[in-house]
């Protein structure tokens, strides 16, 4: 019998089916990403999977892409729960109206409500982020997940629905200064040293973990990077990293009971004809890769008829 099946059967006896399914997958070893497809077929058969490697030479400049908006415009501090899920560190916002934060505009046609943040990182600086830029990975990646609040009632429902999710990706690099927002998490790391342990977080600033509002971004249609790999996510990747002090990354790596040794990043997936768009205007560069010319052509041909 296949070792994955044995683990599932044993876990089911102890914990019930849905907990078993959500717990068996890992980032390394016999339950690693190459086996996810045995239970979640999209992880194996999907053609629009995430993460991807972003090749700066192949970005398409789209002049229709507006700036991303995160409302309210002013900074608010939110409360929630920080959890050691064993596969990552997840922060879940409390579900109350006073701390509602929405992602809109940019490439999005709907309003997406932020519900959780996930941290992906590695055992050393050269690995950790899920998305790669020009073949390079960053020491960590923060993913801010929102669900489509116009069409769905909650994250779970939106996860499998058309245009269900928007995920903002912030690549983390090492800088000289301490990131104050992240320090609010860091002070609680001691409380999440047990498997699946949780702790309350007060007054956390999501905007403190974002680059400046006017920062450009890259966007494409992809999937969740964990099982079931549903292809319902519009990804928005900021064009500038956010900096953590080296010590902050060391503190993150020191959290015990994470079920991986190297990193909790899924490997990058094939692009398969998808377009990766950006609002970075490369006009001044010699290798112009833009939709502008083609759009003008379309407009002209309509008017000339």
Ligand X SMILES: *[C@@H]1O[C@H](CO)[C@@H](O)[C@H](O)[C@H]1NC(C)=O
Q: Which of residues 35-74 bind ligand X (CB under 6 A)?
A: 71-72
Contact string 107-146 vs ligand X (x = CB under 6 A): ----x-----------------------------------
Complex with ligand X: residue 155 or 260, whichever CB lies closer: 155
- If one asks whether residue 102 binds ligand X (CB under 6 A), the answer comes out as yes
Complex with ligand X: residue 34 or 157, whichever CB lies closer: 157
Q: Please list the helix, strand and coil fractions of the chain in percent, rounded to the nearest 5, in that order.
A: 25, 30, 45
> Residue for token digits 């269900």?
164
Q: Which stretch binds ligand X (CB under 6 A): 18-26, 147-155, 187-195, 290-298?
A: 147-155
The token duo for 207 is 């905007």
- If one asks whether residue 75 binds ligand X (CB under 6 A), the answer comes out as no
**Which residues are marked as active site?**
152
Q: Are 27 and 260 in contact (CB under 8 A)?
A: yes
Task: Identify the bridge partners of residue 245 per DSSP, sorted by sequence position.
Answer: 175
Dist CA 275 CA 106 (whole Å):
16
Angle, nearest 10°, between helix axes 17-24 and 3-15?
140
- If one asks whether residue 29 binds ligand X (CB under 6 A), the answer comes out as no
Q: Taking the CB of residue 50, how many other CB atoms lie within 10 A of it?
A: 24
- If one asks whether residue 94 binds ligand X (CB under 6 A), the answer comes out as no
Q: Is 43 helix (H, G, I), strand (E, B) or coil?
A: helix
Complex with ligand X: residue 160 or 215, whichever CB lies closer: 160
Task: Tell me how many residues contact ligand X (CB under 6 A).
Answer: 10
**Minimum distance between the CB of residue 159 and ligand X, rounded to whole angstroms?**
10
Complex with ligand X: residue 37 or 208, whichever CB lies closer: 208
Q: Are 252 and 182 in contact (CB under 8 A)?
A: no
Dist CA 142 CA 144 (whole Å):
7
Q: Which stretch binds ligand X (CB under 6 A): 38-46, 53-61, 152-160, 236-244?
A: 152-160
**Minimum distance between the CB of residue 98 and ligand X, rounded to whole angstroms?**
10
Q: Interior CA angle at 272 toward 87 and 108, to 5°?
A: 70
- If one asks whether residue 149 binds ligand X (CB under 6 A), the answer comes out as yes
- If one asks whether residue 157 binds ligand X (CB under 6 A), the answer comes out as yes
- If one asks whether residue 19 binds ligand X (CB under 6 A), the answer comes out as no
Residue 72 φ/ψ, nearest 5 degrees: -65, 160
For binding to ligand X (CB under 6 A), which residues are involved? 71-72, 100, 102, 111, 149, 153-154, 156-157
């Amino acid at each position: 019998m296949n070792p994955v099946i044995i683990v599932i059967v044993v876990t089911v006896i102890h914990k019930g089916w849905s907990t078993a399914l959500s717990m068996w997958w890992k980032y390394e070893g016999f339950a690693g990403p190459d086996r996810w497809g045995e239970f979640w077929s999209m992880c194996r058969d999907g053609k629009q999977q995430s993460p991807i490697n972003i090749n700066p030479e192949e970005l398409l400049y789209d002049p229709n892409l507006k700036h991303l908006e995160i409302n309210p415009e002013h900074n608010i501090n939110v409360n929630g729960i920080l959890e050691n899920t064993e596969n990552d560190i997840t922060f879940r916002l409390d579900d109350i109206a006073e701390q509602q934060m929405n992602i809109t505009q940019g490439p999005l046609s709907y309003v997406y409500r932020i519900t959780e943040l996930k941290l992906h990182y590695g055992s050393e600086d050269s690995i950790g982020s899920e998305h790669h830029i020009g073949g390079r990975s960053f020491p960590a990646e923060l993913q801010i997940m929102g669900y489509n609040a116009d069409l769905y009632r909650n994250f779970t429902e939106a996860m499998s629905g058309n245009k269900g999710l928007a995920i903002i990706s912030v690549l983390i690099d090492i800088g000289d200064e301490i990131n104050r927002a992240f320090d609010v998490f860091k002070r609680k790391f001691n409380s999440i040293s047990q498997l699946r342990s949780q702790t309350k977080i007060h007054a956390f600033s999501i905007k403190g973990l974002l680059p400046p509002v006017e920062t450009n971004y890259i966007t494409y249609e992809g999937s969740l990077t964990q099982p079931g790999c549903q292809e319902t996510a519009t990804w928005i990747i900021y064009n500038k990293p956010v900096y953590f002090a080296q010590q902050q990354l060391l503190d993150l790596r020191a959290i015990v009971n994470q079920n991986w040794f190297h990193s909790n990043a899924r490997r990058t997936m094939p692009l398969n004809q998808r377009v990766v768009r950006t609002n970075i205007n490369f006009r001044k560069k010699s290798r112009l890769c833009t939709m502008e010319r083609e759009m003008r052509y379309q407009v002209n041909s309509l008017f000339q008829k």
